[in-house]
Chain A
Amino acid sequence: MAHRVDHEYEYLFKIVLIGDSGVGKSNILSRYTRNEFCLESKSTIGVEFATRTLQVEGKAVKAQIWDTAGQERYRAITSAYYRGAVGAILVYDITKRQTFDNVQRWLRELRNHADSNIVLMMAGNKSDLNHLRAVSEQDGQALAEKEGLSFLETSALDATNIQKAFQTILTEVYHIVSKKALAAQEAKANASIPGQGTTINVAETSGNTKKGCCST
């Protein structure tokens, strides 16, 4: 947890990192937030999180990134961590086919627990281990297209695409959020204009509900 001057941000976005155990979620987090990489990091128990503040289109955005345990046992407990998450990076290991195959499962997990508007990104990690590759970039790309996710191959070891991945997802989140804010503003502006039609509708519905109340 960085205790810098963290108050100066306009948006706080919660991003979760998910994926099978051992794909490098923790290292992606440490690379992004502290620019550190540890070849033999400990397994994550439960959840850990770190933050980093960055600029997205001129606005200060604080990314709060949650790194979850990969083992299935922790799913049941940590599903609460999806609460309030606006983005999720689904990580697999390009040297382990199994972790790629499990992406479907993680997507289902997200659909069950996360907000339906959550912005998803898939990251094929360990791209530095190209000689051990078991999942081609095309495969990843194809799956991402099929599922409508953005996709990048990353490497926490040599920092390839790590920045880009977070920047991409945060920008996307920002766009959605600012669009919503805009829409809300417009709605506010529209609401201030008096409209006759609406008044009639309200009267009608209130009449109906009254009847309903009486009958029950």
Chain B
Amino acid sequence: MPSSIARSGGRRLQQPRAHSLTLELVQMHESSAFASVEYSSVDFLVQSQSSSIPDVAPSFFAHSVLPKPPETYIADFHSSLVCHLNRAVHHHKFLSTLHRLGHFSSSPTYHTLLEIQMNPMSEPNVAKLILSQKKRYCKDTSTLMMMRCGVSIAFVTVSFRTSLGSDLEMGKDGIPDWLNSSLWSTTLSDGDNRIHRHSTSPTISSNAVSEPIVQPPVPVPSPATTSSSQSTATSPKSKSRDRVDKNSDDNNNDKDQNASSYGGSPDDISRQAQLLTKTKMARKLEKSAVRDNDHSKSESSGLLSRSQVTHGEHPLSLGESIIWNQFFQDSKIIEQIDRDVKRTHPDMNFFSRNSQLAKSNQDALKDILIVFAKLNPGIRYVQGMNEILAPLFYVFRNDPDEEMAAVAEADSFFCFDELLSGFCDHFYKQLDNNNVGIRAIITWLSQFLKEHDEELWRHLEIITKHSDIDMALKTLTGLVGAKFNSHQYEGFATDALDSRCLDSMGLLTSTPVAPHIVPPDTITPFQS
């Protein structure tokens, strides 16, 4: 797919002419490949053969050091974003995926994809998103803030390198991995199997560790159960009762719709998704007799008929039953997500739980995180993702254009997915000891700081004896989402700018970057 120009690798452009050149390049690639433009703080990195849309992350941090008025960047950013999206949408694979998604007609993901197709992330939304990042400089120029700022910028650069490297691994069709996910397809693709196998290795080991204390999965309703009375028979164990209670707490129509939406697909994965929301389904069946009309439909798709339940799939079996294991794992994650979403920005009315609005917002966050976890079995959900997602959702949801605000969930899912794809290596447990994993990045940051600002480094070292991990981890995994408060929500408050920060940025960004040629496993974070 990518043109020969694209294959020849990205070009790093000099600052003054950067954006016009970028656009030129984009137009050049327009007809042939997905070109992606990434805006770093001082210069632009043109990257071809990459994911279908630009990395949003850099712009979050870029605003504070833009050499030109931010509006220029915003305009460029729009045009490139929109044209990337359009291309992505028209890609045949993408479309065929969409067709396959027919069953999902009301699921949030389908919603998302449809929205992208119909309305490729409307310009106003992008504008708002980016404008919202334009933040007055933080008054607090404490060392800590400087550090955070430096770290986030360094991180962006680092994540560039790593993400550029990992782009080489992308499918031959130039399709982002998440589009190839088995969730969309009727059969598991080889690639997806690999992902699954990959992802289960750590969970297996953790299961092995926790085996003696994990409750046997006995009392969950049998998958063969379709009648409401049976399916709502709950576990005598407190855990599963808790879950039901929790679900009934959040009970509202939206949730039920989501639950049912999973039910339409005939494939295995969606059946898992159905199982995942089974308690909701159970409640739903119990609650409304109206739904009985759809009974046969839900039986065929979601709840397994008795003939489909093999011994291996019995919830009591201790074997490696895929469906039930999946179910229990998923319910764990959903519990975790639920817990974290409820304590996302508790100080803001927008997210706090009392009002109807807050509840629907929380549900949206939850749905996005759950879908993301399902789509990325290797990462699943990591605490802190809610903090990243929250500002995105906030921005989209508060769009003055009501039509846009209505699809905030879809827009934020899309942005969130893109944002995380830029640095998802940090979340992979398997990569922890690798040279692109979180530890390596942290070590590198520490070394970088030591090299360029030893005084600050020493200072941090004295404050906490683990400055390397301590300071950077939150920024690296949570970006700066957690730094928001209700007053300065419109901005990402890392822009405590100081000449020192600028210096280190200059050094960082002036590092020659040629990651297209370097295979991902040879990229070391110690290149500076």
Contact = CB atoms under 8 A, between A and B. Distances in A.
Interface of A: 1, 21-22, 38-47, 49, 69-74, 76-78, 80-81, 83-84, 96-98, 101-105, 108, 134
Contacts of A40: 342-343, 346, 352-353
Given A40-B352, A45-B477, A45-B478, A97 B213 contact: no
B213 A74 contact: no
B237 interface: yes
Contacts of A102: 210, 213
A69 B473 CA distance: 11
Contacts of B213: 101-105
**10 A-B pairs closest in CB distance:** A40-B346, A46-B473, A101-B213, A45-B384, A71-B383, A134-B238, A97-B238, A22-B339, A73-B382, A45-B474
A98 B246 CA distance: 15
Contacts of B429: 73, 76
A43 B384 contact: yes
B202 to A, nearest CB: 9
Contact of B470 (A39, A47, A69, A97): A47
B473 A77 contact: yes
A43 B466 contact: no
Nearest to B473: A46
B469 A78 contact: yes
B386 interface: yes
Nearest to B203: A72
Contacts of B509: none
A43 B345 CA distance: 10
Q: Is the interface of B mostly helix, strand, loop or mixed?
A: helix
26 contacts: A21-B340, A21-B383, A41-B346, A42-B344, A42-B345, A44-B383, A45-B473, A46-B470, A46-B474, A47-B466, A47-B470, A71-B382, A74-B382, A74-B383, A76-B429, A77-B439, A78-B469, A81-B469, A84-B465, A96-B239, A101-B213, A102-B210, A103-B213, A104-B212, A105-B210, A134-B238
B214 interface: yes
Interface in B172-231: 206, 209-210, 212-215
Contacts of B387: 42, 45
Nearest to A97: B238
A125 to B, nearest CB: 15
Given A80-B466, A96-B242, A42 B346 contact: yes
B427 interface: yes
Nearest to B379: A73
B233 to A, nearest CB: 19
B343 A101 contact: no
Nearest to B332: A98
B336 interface: yes
Interface string B232-258: 000001110010000000000000000
B395 to A, nearest CB: 19
A28 to B, nearest CB: 16
B336 A46 contact: no
B178 to A, nearest CB: 20
A38 B474 contact: no
A105 B205 CA distance: 13
B463 interface: yes
A69 B378 CA distance: 20
Interface residues of B, number: 42
A46 B477 contact: yes
Contacts of B339: 21-22, 43
B438 interface: yes
A145 to B, nearest CB: 18
Given A72-B206, A101-B215, A41 B343 contact: yes
B436 interface: no
A43 B383 contact: yes
Given A77-B469, A102-B213, 20 more contacts: A21-B340, A40-B353, A42-B482, A44-B383, A45-B473, A73-B382, A73-B427, A74-B382, A77-B432, A77-B438, A77-B439, A83-B466, A96-B239, A97-B239, A98-B238, A103-B213, A104-B212, A105-B209, A108-B209, A134-B238
B464 interface: yes
Interface string B467-490: 001100110011000100000000
Contacts of B239: 96-98
A196 B162 CA distance: 65
Nearest to B213: A101
Contacts of B438: 77
A72 B336 CA distance: 11
A212 B127 CA distance: 77
A69 B343 contact: no
A72 B206 CA distance: 9
A81 B343 contact: no
Nearest to A109: B209
Contact of B336 (A71, A83, A84): A71
B339 to A, nearest CB: 5
A58 B172 CA distance: 70
A88 B239 CA distance: 26
Nearest to A72: B206
A19 to B, nearest CB: 14
Contacts of B382: 71, 73-74
Interface string B409-438: 000000000000000000101001000001
A84 B239 CA distance: 35
Nearest to A40: B346
A101 B429 CA distance: 24
Nearest to B463: A1
A21 B209 contact: no
